């Protein structure tokens, strides 16, 4: 027979208070994230110019989708992309998506740690390191770029010249460029949507065949994994 005690009641009340506090902090964190990173869909264009006897240019176009606790990249052609999710406990998960094959490879926090992958949630949500606009680059004032008002920054990091035009209210770059000695990399915002008119939506991975990254080594006979291996081998030989 259990005997009632004020100590037991006090302990129970403390546990409930802690649980409620953690819940409140989680809600506040989600609200803060939503405020800092407003939900939107944006289309970006990237250009890489490799310098040499004859310069080569590589371009790409892709969508960036952002909502509370989720950030996703999708190439415009719909072949593939990647999805980052932050759960209520703060753990971050990464999923590599193969839309044409309806396949997904999921990386758990432990996988990312084992792969020594640096996970920067702010950078994932705004495309650039926060330190660039917090003093690493020199703020040169406002500028109009392709019809939008942005904040201009310039500077150099690790011998690489950087140029940034920052869309402050959306927390996204209008233009971001790196000028290396042998190549230049430029990212430009082409279009942005903040409502239901966006041409794409977040991927629902429930419709995909989902594979754990840690299990890939045991899936050599899987047709899709064979296809990935062949693609990787072909890409390697192409170099």
CA gap 51, 71 in Å, rounded: 32
170 neighbors 161 (Cβ within 8 angstroms): no
Query: 160-167 and 172-179 as β-strands: parallel, antiparallel, unpaired?
Result: antiparallel
Position 112 scores a pLDDT of 92
pTM here? 0.79
pLDDT along the chain (239 residues), means of 10: 49 51 48 69 96 93 96 91 94 92 90 91 94 94 93 94 95 96 95 92 91 71 61 44
Position 187 scores a pLDDT of 96
**Tokens read off for 123:** 């950078």
178 neighbors 73 (Cβ within 8 angstroms): no
Architecture of the structural domain at 37-238: Clam (2.50)
Position 126 scores a pLDDT of 95
Helix, strand or coil for residue 42? strand
* Cβ count near 122 (within 10 Å): 14
Pick from 201, 197, 199, 225: nearest CA to 211? 225
DSSP 184-198: EEEEEEEEEE-STT-
150 neighbors 102 (Cβ within 8 angstroms): no
């Amino acid at each position: 027979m259990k005997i009632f005690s004020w100590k037991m009641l006090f302990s129970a009340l403390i546990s409930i208070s802690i649980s409620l506090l953690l819940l409140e902090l989680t809600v506040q964190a989600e609200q803060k994230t939503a405020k800092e990173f407003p939900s939107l869909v944006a289309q970006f264009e990237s250009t890489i110019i490799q310098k040499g006897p004859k310069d080569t240019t590589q371009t790409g176009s892709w969508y960036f989708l952002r909502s509370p606790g989720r950030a996703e990249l999708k190439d415009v052609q719909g072949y593939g992309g990647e999805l980052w999710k932050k759960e209520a406990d703060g753990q971050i998960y990464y999923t590599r998506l193969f839309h044409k094959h309806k396949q997904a490879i999921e990386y758990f926090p432990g996988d990312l740690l084992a792969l020594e992958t640096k996970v920067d949630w702010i950078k994932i949500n705004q495309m650039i390191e926060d330190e660039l606009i917090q003093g690493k680059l020199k703020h040169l004032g406002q500028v109009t770029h392709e019809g939008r008002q942005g904040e201009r920054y310039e500077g150099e990091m690790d011998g690489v010249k950087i140029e940034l035009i920052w869309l402050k209210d959306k927390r996204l770059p209008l233009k971001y460029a790196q000028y290396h000695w042998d190549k230049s990399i430029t990212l430009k915002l082409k279009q942005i949507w903040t409502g239901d008119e966006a041409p794409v939506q977040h991927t629902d991975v429930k419709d995909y065949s989902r594979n754990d990254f840690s299990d890939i080594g045991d899936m050599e006979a899987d047709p899709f994994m064979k296809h990935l291996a062949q693609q990787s081998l072909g890409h390697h030989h192409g170099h």
